[in-house]
Structure 1
Amino acid sequence: MDNNLVGGIIPPQPPVTAESDVHVVKSRLEWGEPAFTILDVRDRSIYNEGHILGAMSMPIEELVERAVPTLEKSRDIYVYGTNDQESASSAQILRSAGFYHVSQLKGGLAAWKAIGGPTEGIIESRTPPGADDYNVVDRLKTHVETQQKDV
């Protein structure tokens, strides 16, 4: 007997690649998939202003000493920084520390916001909700439009 309660409901994800598109992570988040972590390696004060919903703050200079004791080496990790170079460097640092499912989130926070990904933080909370935030039909239209965006 199969003990996997979500078998057949949540499609299995392929192994993470060295770089990931924000659409991939957003769809995993929307499906409520377990066992993945989003790391924000920017400075803590910048993280506090705004970040991807649920992302953990691990500034690049503290990355290894914070990640090693808190994250499983086999966990799917998506990492983003101030720019793609910082994201790529962070992903490489994590791989060198023994993490083997690490992916750079291409475009970082800007790409995430461009497709309507959920955010949180001091500045993000001051942004008024869009007209479609409380209308399911408009939200579905927006979702379809953002899934078709190239970022």
Structure 2
Amino acid sequence: MSKIADLYIRVSTDEQADKGYSLRDQEDRLRRYCELKEISVRNVYIEDYSAKTFNRPGWKKLITALRKQKNIKNVTLLLFTKWDRFSRNTSQAYQTIDILRSLRSEPQAIEQPLDMSIPESKIMLSHYLTIPEVENERRALNVFYGMRRARKEGRWMGTA
């Protein structure tokens, strides 16, 4: 039986501007991967929301669709390009991975693949999930301190 995948594509406006991510580029890479691996694409979920939580419209649609298909016997794949497209919140990511598995969906980042049948893969998963969260927290602190410094220097920090 052929493999079936749902594709999850996410950017936040900041990331798209700062790092050059694009929805089209992610979708192209995911579709090429599926073509090479002979994986059928079932659904594509696209959104422009932060990955700090899973309270995202596209994500909610994906989970609702998986719950409706819970009686399917075969495990489906949930593919995204990198783990930071999936989440930037480590604790929520682990909980969500458990939910996905209970819904017979296996999350996988095509550019950071993990074989979860190998126990040591959990170490790499924690690495892939934690670094984006730490990056977000560092960026927030830098902004906070920068704004504080600007206020001390007498610069106006509100909107025009």
Considering the TM-score relative to the shorter chain, is it more than 0.5?
A: no
Q: State the TM-score, normalized to the length of structure 2.
A: 0.33
Scaled by the length of structure 1, the TM-score of the pair is 0.34
Higher relative contact order (CA 8 A, sep 6+): 1
